[in-house]
Structure 1
Amino acid sequence: MIEGIIWAVIAGITLGLYALPEKFTKNFDFENTWGMMFFINMFIVPAVTGFLLINGFSDILKAIPGNVLSKMIISGVLWGVGVMMWGKAINHIGVSLGFSIFIGTVILIGSLLPFLVDALPASNKFIAILIGIAVVLVGVIANGKAGMKRQKDEGQDPSGKGSMGAGISIAIVGGLLATAFSFANAVGRPVIHEQSLAAGNPEWVTAVGVMFIIYVSGGIFVVPYFIINLSTKKLWPKFATSAFGTNLALTSVMAVLNFAASAFFAFAAFKLGAAGNTVGYAIFNTLSVAVAILSGLITKEWSHASRKAKTLLYLGLACMIIGVVVIAVGNSFK
C-alpha cells in the first residue's frame, strides 16, 4: 500500500511538471509545439520503451483478446482527443488553471469509471467516495471562478478569442474524454500483466505495455489532427526556425515526462490493488494539479491577479486535496 502511494506521488509530480517546458519554446505556434510533442509522446516514446524494456513484446500484444484490445483502443482514442484539448486549454488559460480544471474533471469522472469494470463497492464506501468527489467538484468550480476573476483583473474581454471562458470549457470537455484512460487501464492491465509475467518480465514492465496501447491509440487521432492544422494554417515553415533544436529538446522532455507519469501511475495502481484505480487515480491527479499551480505561480502566470483571484485558486486546490483525502479514507472502509 505504501509503495503504491509513493509511486502515485511520483507520478503526480512528474505529470505536474510535464507542460512547463512549453513556456520556453520560441518561434512556434501552438500547433508546432504540441504537434511535435504529441508525435514524440504518442508514437516514438511508447515504441522505444516497449520494444527495449519488454521481453517478447510482440507476442504479448498478439495474445491480448480482441474484445479487450478493442475497448483499450477506443478508450485510447477518446483519451487522445481529451489530452489534445488539454493542450489547447493550457494555451488559452495557462498551466496552473489548465491543470486545475482539466484534472479536476478527470478526478470527478475517472475515479468512478473503474467501478464499471470492478463493480460497485459496499454502500458506506461508495457514499464516502461520492462525498469526496463532490468536494473535488467544489474545488473545480472555485478554480473556474479564479480564472474568470484573473482575466477580469488583467483587463481581458471574457467574450473574446482565447477567452478564459473558452479555455475552461475546453478543459472540462477534454477532462471528460480523458477519463477513458482510467477505463482502458482497468480493462487491459490484468491480461497484459499475465502475459508479461509469463514472458519473464518484472512486474513494473506491465505498465509500459498498457501505456503503449493507450498512447498509440490516442495518437491515431491527435497526430493527424495536428498535421491537418499545420497544413491548413501553413505553419510547417515555422519548424525551420533557428530555435528548432531547443524546441525539439523541450518538447521531447514534455513527451517523456508525460509518458513516464502515466506509466508510474499504472504501476502505482497495481501496487494499490483494489484501491488503485480510485484512490491512486485521485492522488496522482490532485498532486499534479498542486505542482502545476506552484509552477504557474513561480512563472508569474498570476502576477497581475488580485488577492481574491488567488484566494479562489488556493481554495479550489484545498478542496481538491480534501476531497481526495475523503476518497482515500472512504475507500479504507470495510
Structure 2
Amino acid sequence: MSDAITMGILWHLIGAASAACFYAPFKKVKNWSWETMWSVGGIVSWLVLPWLISFALLPDFWGYYGAFSASTLLPVFLFGAMWGVGNINYGLTMRYLGMSMGIGIAIGITLIVGTLMTPILNGKFDVLIGTPGGRLTLLGVLVALVGVGIVTRAGQLKERQMGIKAEDFNLKKGLLLAVMCGVFSAGMSFAMDAAKPMHDAAAALGVDPLYAALPSYVVIMGGGALINLGFCFIRLAKVPSLSIKADFSIARPLIITNLLLSALGGLMWYLQFFFYAWGHARIPAQYDYVSWMLHMSFYVLCGGLVGLVLREWNNAGRRPVGVLSIGCVVIIIAANIVGLGMAR
C-alpha cells in the first residue's frame, strides 16, 4: 500500500472521528431549543467556515465561482440539498427506531448507495468487477458493511441491557425514514463527484491538491444549509412551544456560553469534511468512490470508540462490549482490504 493511500485512509479516519465527536458540545447547551442550537452550529459549519476558507484559498473568490455555468453548479447544489434532507431524516430515524437500529440501517444504506452508485452512474462499474483491484475494493466495501452490522448489533445489546428505548418507537415509520435517510445522505458523495470540475479549476489556480475540494463546499453546503436552516426556521416560526425570542431571553452569560458551544459543535462538524477532502485527494482517481465508504464506516467505528471513552458502555456488560470490539476490528480489516485493492 502506497504512502499516499495510507495517508488518505488516515485523513478519512480523522474526519470520521470529528464527526463522531461533534455533538458533544451541543449536549452541554442549556435552555435552548434544538432548532436554535442546530441553526447556530449550522450557520458556522455550512456557511461561515466554507466561505471564509474558500476566500482564503482562492486568488479571485468571485471570479472562481462566476466562471462556472449554472449547468455545473446546479447539480452540485441540488445534491447538497439532497444530503441536507438526509440530515433531517437522520434525527427522525433515531426518534422512531432508536440509536442503534437507526444508525445501522441508515449508515448501511448510505454506505452502499453513496459508494456503489457513483461508479455505476459514471459507467465505471467495470472497474469494480473487471479488475483484481476493483474486486478487492468491492470486497472491502462488503466487509465494511458487515462491520457496521456487527457494531449495530452491539448497540442493540447495549440498549436492551441498559433499558434504553426509542423516544417514540414506530417500526414502519422508522424503517421508511431510515431508508430515506440512507439514500438522501448519499447526496454528499454524489455532490463531490459532480463538483470535480470545481476541484480541477481550484487546482489549476494553484490551490494545493489537499485543499482543492474545499471551495466546492460553498455550493454543496449551501444546498444543505437551505434545507436544514429552512426546516429549523419554519419550526421556530410555526410551533407554539418554540421561540427564538425566548431562547435569547435567558441570562447573557448563558447565551454567550450556548453560542460558543454551538459554534464549537459546528466547527467540529465542518472538520469532518475538511479532512474528508484531504483523504479524498489521496485516493487514486479510479477508486475515488470509496471515500464515502471509508468515511461512513469509520464514522461507525469512531462512534463506538468515543462511546467507550465516555464510559457510555460501562453498565452494558461484557457481551455488548465484546461484540462492539469485533465490529471495530472488522471495519479496520475492511479499510485495509480497500487500501490493498487501491494499491493494485
Deviation at 1:78, TM superposition (A): 0.8
**Larger mean Cα displacement after TM superposition, 32-41 or 102-111:** 102-111
What residue in structure 2 maps to residue 178 of structure 1?
A: 185
Name the SS of the counterpart of 1:113 in structure 2.
helix
Name the SS of the counterpart of 1:36 in structure 2: helix
Does 2:300 align with 1:289?
yes
Structure 1 counterpart of 2:247: 238
Kept in 2: contact 1:182–1:277 (CA 8 A): no
**How many angstroms apart in 2 are the aligned matches of 1:203 and 1:138?**
33
Distance 2:202 2:134 in 1: 32
Distance 1:54 1:25 in 2: 35
Question: What's the TM-score once normalised by structure 2's chain length?
Answer: 0.82
Q: Which residue of 2 aligns with 1:20?
A: 24
Deviation at 1:107, TM superposition (A): 2.8
Higher mean alpha-carbon deviation, 295-304 vs 52-61, is at 295-304
CA distance in 1, matches of 2:306, 2:101: 11
Contact in 2 for aligned 1:151/1:164 (Cα 8 Å) = no
Amino acid at match of 1:161: D
Distance 2:179 2:308 in 1: 22
Change (3 A) 1:245 1:184: same
Structure-2 change in CA distance of 1:118 and 1:28 (3 Å): farther
Match of 1:141?
149
Q: What is the TM-score with the length of structure 1 in the denominator?
A: 0.84
Aligned residue number for residue 42 of structure 1: 46
* Mapped pair 1:124 → 2:132: yes
Displacement after TM superposition at 1:306 (Å): 3.2
User: 3-state DSSP class of the match of 2:168?
Assistant: coil
Q: Deviations over 1:54-95 (max 9, x none)?
A: 221211112223332222111111111112333555678898
Secondary structure at the residue paired with 2:284? helix
For 1:130 and 1:282, the matched residues in 2 are separated by 10
Q: Confirm or deny: 8 A CA contact 2:284 2:342 kept in the other structure.
A: no
Shift of 1:201: 3.4
Cα distance change, pair 140–5 in 1 and its aligned pair in 2 (3 A): closer
Q: 1:142 to 1:256 in 2, by over 3 A?
A: same
1:255-289 CA-to-partner distances (Å, cap 9, x unmatched) read 12222221221232123232562344333333333
What code does the residue aligned with 1:117 have?
Answer: N
Structure-2 separation of matches of 1:276 and 1:8: 14
Q: 1:167 to 1:244 in 2, by over 3 A?
A: farther
Cα distance in 1 between the residues matched to 2:109 and 2:274 = 21
- Spell out the pairing of 1:1-334 with structure 2 (5 A cutoff): 1=4, 2-88=6-92, 102-115=106-119, 116-117=121-122, 119-120=124-125, 121=127, 122-157=130-165, 161=168, 170=177, 173-189=180-196, 191-233=197-239, 234-236=241-243, 237-242=246-251, 243-274=254-285, 277-333=288-344
Contact 1:96 1:293 in 2 (8 A): no
Could you list the per-position Cα deviations for residues 213-251 of structure 1 after superposition, in whole angstroms to 9, with x for gaps in the alignment? 110111111111011122333322134333222221122
Assess if the C-alpha contact under 8 Å between 1:94 and 1:301 holds in 2. Answer: no
Structure 2: gaps (5+ residues) = none
Is 1:32–1:235's contact at 8 Å kept on the other side of the alignment? no
| 1:18-71 Cα distance to aligned partner (Å, 9 max, x none) | 222222222233323223222322122222222233221211112223332222
Contact 2:101/2:156 (<8 A) preserved: no
Cα RMSD (Å) of the superposition?
A: 3.1
- 5+ residue gaps in structure 1? none
Contact 1:86–1:102 (8 Å) recurs in 2: yes
Q: 1:274 to 1:202 in 2, by over 3 A?
A: closer
Q: 1:155 to 1:15 in 2, by over 3 A?
A: closer
How far has the Cα of 1:16 moved from its partner?
A: 2.8
**CA distance in structure 2 between the partners assigned to 1:210 and 1:248 by the alignment:** 27
Q: Contact (CA 8 Å) 2:88, 2:228: kept in 1 or not?
A: yes
Q: Is the 8 A contact 1:101 1:143 kept in 2?
A: no
Q: Counterparts of 1:222 and 1:265 in 2: how far apart (Å)?
A: 21
Number of corresponding residues: 331
Secondary structure of 2:30's counterpart equals coil
Deviation >4 Å, runs of 4+: 87-104, 162-172
Distance 2:156 2:23 in 1: 22
